[in-house]
Structure 1
Amino acid sequence: MSGTGTAGDEDPLQRAIWRLRSRGCWTDAAALLESHAARPGPAVQRTALLVERCLFTGQGWAEAEDALRAAESVAREDEDRGAAACERGQLAYAATVLGVRDRADEARSALGRAAALLSPSSRFRPLLDFRRGLVAEHLADAPQSAKPAYRRAHAGAASQGDLLLLSFTYRHLAALALREGELAEARRGFSESLRLREELGFLIGTAPALAALAEAEPEPEATRLRQEAARLFRLLGGIPTWLADQLTPSPAV
């Protein structure tokens, strides 16, 4: 969920990876890194792409596991080990939250290991904080514990200029605000998340942002947003798969 390659990155490889990733072509994006995967950085990035594919599609678990083990095997420094542990935590989280297999304990353990390995100034810290927030909110059902983690991630993403991660933190903080009845704050956060994704061209993440904003808007705007989200969802072949239930119209009463 980190925004590598998004904000005017001058590296042609990273720009190519971003163009594929932003349209849901994770396997193709990861293939561009295969020849570089003997080095820790590219190995972790390749893993992250395949883990994201699992979360959005519910498929590709074996490939992600293989890439993760390869990234762990080439890690030499604490920073590299911590980054790999962060991806292991995310893969275990995805498997648990999508109901593939209960790996909640593994998710917590891996993210705890990442926290011990990564320095406070590590560029991976904001992403780690965000993922620990996800585990607290969705696996431990502890939204009040998730909020400070999301806020740390939000501040870190802003300081690093990671606009994609910022779009995620805006969205999840807004969801907590909506849960607490803070409608104006929720609407603001969802709107900012959508704006950032549109500016970045993160097409695969735009439909979820539209659907989220619809939850905080009155009619008829809410229906318009859901219709636009449904259009994009169909255009992208039903990805992310977990969005389908949110876009199903309620039966008339």
Structure 2
Amino acid sequence: MLIIPAIDIKEGKCVRLTRGDFNQKKIYLDNPRDMAIIWRKQNAKMLHIVDLDAALTGEMTNFEKIREIVTDLDIPVQVGGGIRSVDAVKRYLDIGVSRVVIGSAAVTDPKLVERLMKIYRPSQIVVGIDAENGIPKIKGWTESSGLKDFDLALRMKSMGIERVIYTDISRDGMMQGFGYESTKRFAERAGMKITASGGVTNAEDMKRLIELQPYGVDSVIIGKALYECNFPCQELWYAFEEGITLDHNFSTARKK
């Protein structure tokens, strides 16, 4: 189970929202690059970055901030938020972003996904489905799509998309556990590679996530729970990822 720390950027700062509400934000660091370095030192194998400003406007407001992170880190970075054109995808991939996440545009402009899949590998393009009560929301979670989440997934699958980032909006940022039933239902019907997102709070949630591996859930994006230190980060990676060696001195210090 790959654990992917989330970095949300708004107005150039590293923030976390509650249920995607832009009026309920908490600033953690003024420079998102510093946060990225912290997660890398905590043994992160990948980062998930969202340009929240772009999610609302479609303008790549925090592009230079993201470029700094991608340039300075030696691990894959996936980026989402307001990516609605081939040119935007190209700009991100050209600076070294590993995966680009298509969100609202998968609903509003599905032909964009068709064009992207003719240009890029499936490993480079993923679709983010952020759903509330099984209905995807778009444009920074401000509008309903009117579709069923699994219907959207199957449409994307038919175009060649292999991976979906699935977020249960009702759980995101609430620190009350992730949507086990909603994620399981979605994964069963979609039949795709799934990165779970939203609401993972502690190690118990991680254990429940592992139960969903047979349905294609192989990774998880964690945000607020890491920022609020709900579990020792390196011990978390050590417990749920293979091939990671936990520093003996760190482990001993934690036990004390």
Q: TM-score, length-normalised on structure 2?
A: 0.30
User: By percentage of residues, which structure has more helix?
Assistant: 1
Q: TM-score, length-normalised on structure 1?
A: 0.31
User: By percentage of residues, which structure has more strand?
Assistant: 2
Higher relative contact order (CA 8 A, sep 6+): 2
